[in-house]
Each structure stands twice: as C-alpha cells, then as structure tokens.
Amino acid sequence: MIGHVGSAAAIETHSASLFFFGDRVYKVKKPVDLGFLDFRTEEGRAAACRREVELNRRLAPDVYLGVAQMTDPDGQVCEHLVVMRRMPPHRRLRACLERGEDVHVALERIADELASLHDASPPPGPMESVATRDAIRRLWCDGFDSMRPHVGTLLGATDQQRIEELVLRFLAGRAPLFEQRIRDGAVRDGHGDLQAEDIFLLDDGPRVLDCLEFDDTLRWGDVLGDAAFLAMDLERFGRPELARLFLDAFGQRSGIPWPPALEHHYVAYRAHVRAKVGVIRASQGAGSTAEVDRLQALCRRHLEAARVRAVLVGGLPGTGKTTLSRRLAERVDAVVLRSDELRRRHPEAGRYAPTTTDEVYADLLAEAEHHLAHGRHVVLDATWSAPEHRRLARTVADRVAADVVEIECVAPAGMTVERIRHRLAAGVDLSEATPEVAEQMARRFGPWPEAERVRTDLAPEDSTRSALLAFG
C-alpha cells in the first residue's frame, strides 16, 4: 500500500509545475520551448502528458493514474494534467541511502525490472543509429560545447581538457565495439534517466518514476548505458559497492555481457550529463559548483579506468612471463594471448626460424587488435626480444587508440634454467624452449629501455603487484 497523505505543496521545474494535494500529484506542462522540447501549444502539452503516462506505466503502472482535463469557465478544455499517486518522500532511494538502510534486495529488484523493460522493447529498427560510435561521440561533443563557455569559472580547465582527451581517444578506436553491441541486440527502449531521486522503495517493491519521455532518441540506446545512470548515482552518493552490486545483478539478468572499459565509459557519460546540468543550474545561481566538481572527478576517474591497454609481457624463457601474464590478466580482466600457442600452429621443424617468428608476432598482434578495438585489455605473452616487434605492437595499439604497457620479466639465470628443465620434464606447457634455445635468445635480446623490469624471483603476488604499478 502506498497510502501516503501529505500537506499541500507545489514544485516548479524548468518544464512543469507540480501540485501536491493529499495522496495525489498533478503535473502541468509549462508552455515553453527549451529547444529539446516544445510545449507551446495546448495540443503539444496534451500529447506530452499522454506520452508521459504511457511510458512511465511500464515501470510504475499504479503510480501514473492518467491524464485529466482542465476546463475554462465556458467548459472548454484548456489544459491537461498528469495525475499521479503521491509517493512518500522518506522512501526515496536517496533518502534510504542517507539513512544507511539495507537496499541490496531493492537494487536487485530494480535491476530485474529494468532488464524486463528492455526485454519488452520493440525492435530498434532505425533507432539502432543512436548507439553507434559516432552518435555517442556527438552526444559527448554537444555536452562539451555547452560546457565550454564555463571552463575557467564553473569548470576546471585541466579536468575538462583531460576528460575531452580521454573521451575522444576511447571512441576513436572503438567503432567495432559499438557495432558489436548493436549486433548483439543491446539497443533497446529504456528508462533514460534512472536517478536515485526518482526511485521509491515501498513495502511491496520499488517504484521507478520519471522516465525520459520527451525525446525517444535519448531514451533508446545501449542497455548498459541505461543501467549506468543509476550506478553513477549510487557512486555519487558515496556507495560504489552498491553500484557494483546493481550492475552485476543487471548484467546477470540482461544476458548481454560487456567489457569493463565500456561500463566505465557509460558511467562516465552519465556523470558528464549530470555535470552539464549542474553547470547550467550553477550559472543560474541555483546549484553548487562543489557538486559539479565531484561529478567531474567521478567522470574523469571512470574515463581513466576505461583506457584500453595492450600489455607486452616479455623476457627470456623461464623468467615467469606466462605465470605473471595470467595473474595480471585476472586482476585487470584482460584477454591473454600467448606466442607459444600460435607458434604451435607451424611445422615443428621451422618453429623458431626468423620468418616463422615474424609470422607468429604478426598473428599475435592481429588477434590483439581485434580485442582492443572491442574494448578489451590484452596481455601479450611473448619474448619480445626484437625491437622491431615491439615497434609493430605500438603501431597496432595506436591504430585502435590503445595504451601500451611494456613489462620485462627478469630472474637469476640459475632459476630460469631450473624452471625450463622442470617445465620440459613435466610436459604440460606449450613452450618448447630448451636451456640452449634460451641461451641463444639471450644473445639476440635487444635493449628494451621502454619496459618496466619486474622481478619474478619474488613471491607471485609481489611480482603481480609490481606489474600492476606499471599497468597504471
């Protein structure tokens, strides 16, 4: 039961007036043209009211009661109103968070309801275009354009410049990722504005209100982008662990996996949207620059985390490259590509010939480029003894706007020989290098000043920790 009766009140927004009487709320659209919406005509306002009720009934059917008519003294219809049940303000998700209530079950329920909303979406048809890389870039750039006049006053110039650089670099190399998301069926009609302020946790379950109804192109999009709004809000209110819980629950329910970099990108975008609104409000004297600063910091933090990386883990045989590669990949959720695996595809007699080695590295980097373009970190486990192969790796990474991290594994010679002999005796590893082959490789190993040297004669966790410092 909702059953909340409160005193009369009124609230003004930029596009509507809301009147609270007893257990009802009446929402009147203002006759304004804000560019992104146009309510100047009575017919337009009536249509907007009907659309608001229709769309919001998807998640809160018992809250949006319908559209009422207002008549003038002559009995002619002069206005339309959205009629809603009045929600208890103390049951807002934000209020529950501030009181420290346990909202785990509610967030899992919201994740399920959001996924069900996406499941019920009609086919996107031409709406697929809203989720392309170029469309996402336009949204970011429109926001940057609107914020640029406030750089140096309401916005820090350094933060804003770094945010723009990170966004454009991520998007530059990720067209295949966004195309894959469209093919995977990730483009759905969603909520579009999932904020903790508009979610109410009632005894019989959550009610999600106030979807974005005035522009379908802003409501349609990647399901991850829809969920990312609430994740961003939860983090904004100091609860990153709840953001993680919500996204994990949504991911399990949606059935459309995503790379972590894309998650960070969409959370950053939602922070950017809120920061943009905050700048507008602050410029009108109605908002706090401190809140804008917090949103900008949240946005930048996620964009830094979204940087896609190609990690070259090299070194002589027996230096622990494979062990370190696997442990590092587990920590950063990366794909591991191993030269020894690709080398096995070649005839045994010529596996270590120079031409074969060149082919192995070419194949290794071709696979890496595919994963990097799709937003996945890649750990490349190979010797990397030749400077020309490293230069090629940097060229490939640059082509898909990925950062390169270079790590050289080192260990005492006696330890590496013992490891090689043990590995060959066990016969369980793909590497066929013998101590003699390792000695030949050592003579050909070119200087690698760009690499961070990581000792692998330490405890595995200590070596991994050193590698993570290089990862950044």
Q: Report residue 53 CA to chain centroid gap.
A: 30
Tokens read off for 402: 């990925």
Please report whether residue 394 resides in a domain: yes
359 and 447: one domain?
yes
Strand partners for 12: 17
Please report whether residue 29 resides in a domain: yes
Please report whether residue 1 resides in a domain: no
Question: Which residue, chain included where needed, has tokens 């659209």?
Answer: 29
Please report which helix (H) or strand (E) contains residue 268, including its range.
helix 260-283
* CATH classification of the domain holding 31: 3.30.200
Q: How would you class 195 by CB atoms within 10 Å of its CB: exposed for 0-12, middle for 13-18, buried for 19 or more?
A: buried
Residue with more model confidence, 286 or 412: 412
Please report whether residue 19 resides in a domain: yes
Please report whether residue 168 resides in a domain: yes
151 and 287: one domain?
yes
The answer to whether residue 428 scores a pLDDT higher than 70 is no
145 and 165: one domain?
yes
45 and 132: one domain?
no
pLDDT band at 3 (very low <50, low <70, confident <90, very high): very low
374 and 266: one domain?
no
The answer to whether residue 423 scores a pLDDT higher than 60 is yes
| Mean pLDDT on 111-126 | 97
* CATH classification of the domain holding 458: 3.40.50.300
Look at residues 85, 105, 128 and tell me which one is the last residue of a structural domain: 85
Question: Alpha-carbon torsion 176, 177, 182, 188, what sign?
Answer: negative
397 and 461: one domain?
yes
| Mean pLDDT on 288-317 | 95
Per the structure, the count of domains in the chain is 3
Please report whether residue 216 resides in a domain: yes
The answer to whether residue 351 scores a pLDDT higher than 50 is yes
The answer to whether residue 1 scores a pLDDT higher than 60 is no
Please report whether residue 223 resides in a domain: yes
Cβ atoms of residues 210 and 58 within 8 Å: no
| Mean pLDDT on 169-184 | 98
Q: What are the distances in angstroms from CA 208 to CA 55, 56, 102, 213, 251? A: 11, 8, 18, 14, 19
Longest CA pairwise span in the chain (Å): 102
Q: Give the Cα-Cα-Cα angle 238, 243, 244 (nearest 5 degrees).
A: 125
**Boundaries of domain holding 52:** 6-85
| Mean pLDDT on 380-401 | 97
The answer to whether residue 399 scores a pLDDT higher than 90 is yes
Instruction: Name the percent of the chain lying above pLDDT 90.
Output: 77
332 and 186: one domain?
no
Percentage helix, strand, coil for the chain under 3-state DSSP, each rounded to 5: 55, 15, 30
Poorest-pLDDT segment among 12-21, 117-126, 166-175, 193-202: 12-21
Look at residues 50, 65, 85 and tell me which one is the last residue of a structural domain: 85
Q: Output the pLDDT for position 305.
A: 96
Residue with more model confidence, 94 or 284: 94
pLDDT tens column, 134-153: 999 999 999 999 999 999 99
170 and 301: one domain?
yes
106 and 186: one domain?
yes
Taking the C-alpha atoms of residue 67 and residue 27, their distance in angstroms, rounded to an integer, is: 9
Residue with more model confidence, 187 or 428: 187
Please report whether residue 14 resides in a domain: yes
Cβ atoms of residues 147 and 160 within 8 Å: yes
Poorest-pLDDT segment among 102-116, 282-296, 300-314, 442-456: 282-296
The answer to whether residue 5 scores a pLDDT higher than 60 is no
Look at residues 85, 112, 141 and tell me which one is the last residue of a structural domain: 85
* CATH classification of the domain holding 109: 3.90.1200.10
**Average pLDDT over all residues of the chain:** 92
The answer to whether residue 358 scores a pLDDT higher than 70 is yes
Q: SS in 3 state form for 351-408?
A: CCCHHHHHHHHHHHHHHHHHHHHCCCCEEEECCCCCHHHHHHHHHHHHHCCCEEEEEE
111 and 43: one domain?
no
400 and 462: one domain?
yes
57 and 206: one domain?
no
